[in-house]
């Protein structure tokens, strides 16, 4: 864990300097016009204490800004030291953190903690477009799906005259929430919440997120059969025949890596996902992906992970509904 005696967790000026150093390693950039020229950006300093601390003036667009403008912390009334502390807590807790825990640890209201938690998860969300697909030539991507929690709206079946759909012989998987996950062996993972797992929806996730030059490893589920042919190679293990791993030359065919990603997520979500609205599930997935992709096995420290999250908090625009929520946090 981080050293919680560090002044960045208690002192507003130190917290602000910490945020500025992470967001602006080469000096402040104007979030309004993109100006980076240090000669035309000035710190607003006056004798009067009427102005906000950490305020900058951009001579290019005549606008003012602080380090939180254009980030998930924008318009927040929560002290910056508490934000910094919260980012570190989320980065360091393997199983994540509930709004209740955050509320107790930060001494903010539950509602504020809830909004902070969701904004931190939003910050942790990877920009899939700019980071490109997983895998590639000579690389292995494992794909699998898992079922968690309970759907908010039961799935109905036309054959059953609009009554909830149940899968014969399966333990109500049809009424659970569906998560599809991909992981590059030795690399990054991405999990997605799907309303329905069909060949088409699963294909969409695969082709958008896993390079088709990769070798795909899955179980024998028919969801992957057709899409698998679009990949350089597709190997399956037959879980129904109790086959979990198979050696082929110098490679071992299995989907244990993605199952492990799912299991960390599920353990973290115990006691949380009943309360996690389906509309927010994608943010929890992003949070767990974020930590997995910066796992300690890759020699990423808690502090580096927290700094990454803070860096990624910038440039995440708040949507209208979220900015209305902002008054709570
Ligand atoms: Zn500007």
pLDDT score for 171:
47
For residue range 294-316, list pLDDT tens digits in order.
999 999 999 999 999 999 999 88
Q: Where does the chain have alpha helices with state H?
A: 12-23, 80-92, 99-106, 110-124, 128-131, 199-209, 225-228, 256-269, 281-292, 302-312, 320-325
If you measure from the C-alpha of residue 26 to the centroid of ligand 1, how many angstroms do you get, rounded to a whole number? 16
Examine the domain organization and report whether 109 and 14 are in the same domain: yes
Total domain count, the chain? 2
If you measure from the C-alpha of residue 57 to the centroid of ligand 1, how many angstroms do you get, rounded to a whole number? 8
Examine the domain organization and report whether 184 and 324 are in the same domain: no
Q: Is residue 297 one of the residues assigned to a domain?
A: no
Examine the domain organization and report whether 70 and 192 are in the same domain: no
Secondary structure (DSSP) of 242-305: T---EEETTEEE--HHHHHHHHHHHHHHTTTTTTS-GGGHHHHHHHHHHHHTT-GGGT--HHHH
Examine the domain organization and report whether 93 and 208 are in the same domain: no
Examine the domain organization and report whether 42 and 158 are in the same domain: no
Examine the domain organization and report whether 144 and 286 are in the same domain: yes
> Domain range holding 248?
129-292
Chain-centre distance for alpha carbon 80: 21
pLDDT score for 129:
81
If you measure from the C-alpha of residue 42 to the centroid of ligand 1, how many angstroms do you get, rounded to a whole number? 11
If you measure from the C-alpha of residue 258 to the centroid of ligand 1, how many angstroms do you get, rounded to a whole number? 44
The answer to whether 96 and 287 are in contact (CB under 8 A) is yes
Q: Is residue 27 one of the residues assigned to a domain?
A: yes
Q: Which residues surround ligand 1, an ion (CB under 5 A)?
A: 30, 32-33, 35, 58, 60-61, 63
User: pTM of the entire structure?
Assistant: 0.89
pLDDT score for 130:
84
How far, in Å, CA of 196 to CA of 210, rounded?
A: 20
Q: Is residue 97 one of the residues assigned to a domain?
A: yes
pLDDT score for 170:
47
Examine the domain organization and report whether 180 and 286 are in the same domain: yes
For the chain, list residues with pLDDT below 70: 1-2, 47-51, 156-173, 271-274, 317-329
DSSP single-letter state for residue 180: E
Q: Is residue 1 one of the residues assigned to a domain?
A: no
pLDDT score for 280:
87
pLDDT score for 96:
87
If you measure from the C-alpha of residue 38 to the centroid of ligand 1, how many angstroms do you get, rounded to a whole number? 11
């Amino acid at each position: 864990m981080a050293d919680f005696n560090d002044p960045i967790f208690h002192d507003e000026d130190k917290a602000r300097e910490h945020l500025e150093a992470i967001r602006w390693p080469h000096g402040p950039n104007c979030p309004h016009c993109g100006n980076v020229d240090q000669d035309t950006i000035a710190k607003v300093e006056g004798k009067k204490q009427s102005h906000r601390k950490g305020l900058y003036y951009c001579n290019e667009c005549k606008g003012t800004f602080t380090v939180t403008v254009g980030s998930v912390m924008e318009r927040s009334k929560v002290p910056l030291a508490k934000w910094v502390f919260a980012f570190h807590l989320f980065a360091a807790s393997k199983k994540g953190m509930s709004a209740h825990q955050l509320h107790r640890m930060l001494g903010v209201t539950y509602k504020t903690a809830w909004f902070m938690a969701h904004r931190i998860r939003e910050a942790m969300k990877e920009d899939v477009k700019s980071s490109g697909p997983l895998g590639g030539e000579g690389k292995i991507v494992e794909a699998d799906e898992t079922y968690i929690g309970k759907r908010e709206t039961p799935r109905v079946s036309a054959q059953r005259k609009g009554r909830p759909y149940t899968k014969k012989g399966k333990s109500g998987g049809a009424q659970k929430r569906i998560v599809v996950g991909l992981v590059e062996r030795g690399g990054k993972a991405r999990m997605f919440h799907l309303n329905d797992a069909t060949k088409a929806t699963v294909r969409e996730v695969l082709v958008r997120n896993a390079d088709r030059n990769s070798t795909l490893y899955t179980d024998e589920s028919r969801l992957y059969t057709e899409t698998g042919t679009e990949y350089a190679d597709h190997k399956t293990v037959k879980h129904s025949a109790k086959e979990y791993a198979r050696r082929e030359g110098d490679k071992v065919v299995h989907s244990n890596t993605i199952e492990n990603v799912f299991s960390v997520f599920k353990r973290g979500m115990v006691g949380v996902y009943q309360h996690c609205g389906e509309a927010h599930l994608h943010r929890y997935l992003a949070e767990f992906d974020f930590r997995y992709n910066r796992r300690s096995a890759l020699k990423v420290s808690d502090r580096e992970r927290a700094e990454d999250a803070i860096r990624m908090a910038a440039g995440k625009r708040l949507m209208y509904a979220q900015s209305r929520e902002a008054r709570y946090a």
